[in-house]
Amino acid sequence: MRDRKAVVTSGRTFVAGSLMLLALGMVPQAFAARAPKGEPAEPARTAPVVRNSVDELRQLMDSQQLTELRTTYNGSYGASLLFNTATLQYYAALFHEKDFWRVIKTDSVDNAEKVYRTFVQQTEELAQVYIDTTRLEARALGFG
Strand order in the sheet with 89-96: 67-74, 77-84, 89-96, 99-106
Summarised one tens digit per residue, pLDDT across range 109-123 is 999 999 999 999 999
> What type of residue is 139?
R
- pTM: predicted TM-score of the whole model, two decimal places: 0.62
pLDDT of residue 59: 96
Q: Per-residue DSSP letters for 117-143?
A: HHHHHHHHHHHHHHHHHHHHHHHHTT-
pLDDT of residue 98: 85
With a cut of 50, which residues of the chain have pLDDT below it?
Answer: 4-36, 43, 45, 47
